Amino acid sequence: MAIDTQPVLVECFAAGSNGATVPATSGANFGISSLGTADGMLFDAVTISAGQAMTYDTATVPGLTLCKIVTTGTGSVFGMYDSAGLLTNAAATQWFRLWLYWPSNPSAAQQVHAMLVSGTRAADVVINSNGTVSVRNAAGTVIVTTTTTIPLGALFRIEGYITSSATVGQVELKLYTSPWSATAAETQTSAANLNTTGGALNQVRFGAATAATAGLTWDQWGCAVSVSGYIGPGAVVQQMICGGPASSGFTVISKPVGGTSLRLKVATDAGLTQNVTFVSAVTPDTYGYTRHVVTGLNPFTRYYCQLLDTPPGQSEMAAGSVGTCKTLAAAGSIQSFALAVASCINNADETPGPDTALNDWIAWGADLNVFTGDYGYQNPTFTDQPDQIGAFEYMTWFYGMEPITRQAWGFYCRSNHDSTTTAGGVNDDSDNTWTAANLVAVQEIFPQGTLGDQSNSPVHSLCQSWVQGRVRFILLDIRNVDRSPGANTDNGSKTMLGATQLAWLYSQLQMPEPLKVIITDTQWLGTTVPSLGADPELGKWWSYQTERAAIVSQMIASWSKMRNVCLIHGDFHGVAVATAAQSAANAGGQMPVYCAAPMRQTGAATINPGTFTSYYNNSGGECRFYGRVTFTDNGSNITVQYQGWDATNSVAQVTQTDVFPVNAGNLPARGLMGGM
Ligand SMILES: [Fe+2]
């Protein structure tokens, strides 16, 4: 599968118990099931020759779990990443970082790190018997050596890079005798005309890469490799998701690999200097995540944030990039705002510009962002929580989702490819063996609004609501555990939402805000299309048309309280609109319907396209679309303008404007409800 982004690969050995052998992964889920742990990215493979040991070590440095290497033999002992696993963008230049702890100098030069080209060593790093550090070439010839010696019985850090080439190879080595310092005690840079084998460095080894001297003991930690530059000290923040905004705060969920005690700095400027506040320090949980709930903020204000880590015995330092989130307008306030909404990120769609819509979405900087699913088409069917988490981490890290989740996230409505569909694209249903693990994993990673299921623990669905000004957003979750199988006969006993969520929806529709916006991932309008076969239809609302009709009837019955309503969904691979009348004529209720998709997909051979007033799918070609929706509240009316935004061409391909009267006297005449 295509990979867009090579994140910093990092193994921090956080999850193991003292003395346990450091694991690797392999097999059918290679590259996914290695994730989802507090370690960070488990090595692709671990080699432990006879007589050697590589174990978790909590005894050597208080507050840190290290990786202890003990040699009683002379064989290799190392953990590695390679291009068959997570080292997906193997490049000729790779940067490395690791901390080491040596109780005494080795009796002979000992490898601690190496990079290889198709099994041939390009260069390695050794600790010499006098305590200096060298980089050697494939023949074992020393290229550079420090004059500074390593501190014994203390943690220290080395970083550097290796450029692989037969003619213009180069290495650089930095020794940090103060383990978290940004300033190297010594830097050694080679000439740029060396023979360092040549070709992409497609395997990186941490430990005794090819051979060891018997009788040695040392520790390594924070083993990392990057294709983009120096990694530096401290935690590698693999992801920071800022979302779930309220009028007084938001939630930041991060994975700071190698972080130990982290608080969150919050400010009103990207430089983090104005109106600074902090959220108290937390330690990463079982899966390596930190959760900071920011409170006490002003409404409808953009905030910026960054993690601060305090390694054991060290000063506090910034970790990772700056994130941002905007708080909601106070409930009931008259406030206009912009919403960005879309779904569908397919990493197989490379050109043009795979990230065009993602980048455009971030640059547009909407006040509120909602993603309606198909996060990465990974179809995670794992029945355990770590692997479900690992699947989402894989999509975030390798499919280029990290910038949008950090800078332009808000609320998330899962769709079939995030939650229910198997790898073959079949069984688009929700009562699957992996649904429960998926529900828990998504709550671990993604901030949520106020969940609608207040009666079950764990919750049966992630339906949730929030209020921005005088607009109530009601996000449905059809990927719940209460849903009837899609193939069941469509009658009163068949449910999409389940009784708890349905009752919640009805209560939400009667809340006091004059405009309700229902959000659902899958297509709302239309009827069964038998020619498609059963499976693609199982997740659509028309496979549950008895319940859909009941919802519409409930809207009619409660219209005087509900007042105005519209619906936004993704799923249909195009941008599309239906007027209230068009919706009513297609069994959808007297409400405008807007479809916003896909951000990175081909335009689909759309299902039931005739149910829309107009749509655009680029004739089935590549689409980099999202919905730009503006809500203009002038006190008397809330005007919603939907634009089906084509980010490739910077043009709205579909537009619809609907005016919703706020005052009861302006309610639509009941005669408009005819035909439902
Ligand atoms: Fe999709």
Q: What is the pLDDT of residues 219-273, one digit of tens each?
A: 999 999 999 999 999 899 999 999 999 999 999 999 999 999 999 999 999 999 9
- pLDDT band, residue 674 (cuts 50/70/90): very low
Give the percent of the chain with pLDDT over 90: 79
CATH 3.90.79.10 at 337-667, yes or no: no
Cα(376) to centroid(ligand 1), Å: 9
pLDDT score at 485: 85
pLDDT score at 400: 86
Which CATH number is 9-226 given?
2.60.120.200
- The H or E element that residue 582 is part of is helix 580-584
How are beta strands 217-226 and 9-11 bridged, if at all? antiparallel
Q: How far apart are CA 150 and CA 133, in angstroms?
A: 8
Cα(230) to centroid(ligand 1), Å: 37
Cα(662) to centroid(ligand 1), Å: 34
* 3-state SS assignment for residue 218: strand
List the single range of 36-45, 316-325, 360-369 with lowest mean pLDDT: 36-45
- pLDDT band, residue 509 (cuts 50/70/90): very high
Using alpha carbons, list the distances in angstroms from residue 140 to 123, 161, 191, 201, 202: 8, 17, 17, 17, 19
Residues composing the chain: 676
Nearby residues of 205 by Cβ (< 8 Å), 6 or more positions away: 78, 79, 80, 113, 114, 115, 116
Cα(428) to centroid(ligand 1), Å: 12
pLDDT score at 538: 76
Q: What is the pLDDT of residues 459-488, one digit of tens each?
A: 999 999 999 999 999 999 999 999 998 888
Domain boundaries, the chain: 9-226, 236-326, 337-667
pLDDT score at 300: 98
Indicate the average pLDDT of the chain. 92
Question: Dmax of the chain from CA atoms?
Answer: 93
Cα(235) to centroid(ligand 1), Å: 34
307: its two tokens = 């993690």
* CA nearest neighbour of 599 among 561, 531, 648, 548: 648
Cα(343) to centroid(ligand 1), Å: 7
Cα(486) to centroid(ligand 1), Å: 18
Neighbours of ion ligand 1 (CB under 5 A): 344, 374
* 3-state SS assignment for residue 613: coil
pTM: 0.95
Q: What is the pLDDT of residues 436-454, one digit of tens each?
A: 999 999 999 999 999 999 9
Q: What is the pLDDT of residues 400-409, one digit of tens each?
A: 899 999 999 9
Using alpha carbons, list the distances in angstroms from residue 386 to 98, 381, 442: 26, 12, 11
Using alpha carbons, list the distances in angstroms from residue 30 to 39, 118, 477, 502: 16, 19, 30, 39
Cα(535) to centroid(ligand 1), Å: 15
pLDDT score at 534: 54
- Within this chain, domains 236-326 and 337-667 share the same CATH topology: no
Which CATH number is 236-326 given?
2.60.40.10
Q: What mean pLDDT is predicted for residues 98-105?
A: 98
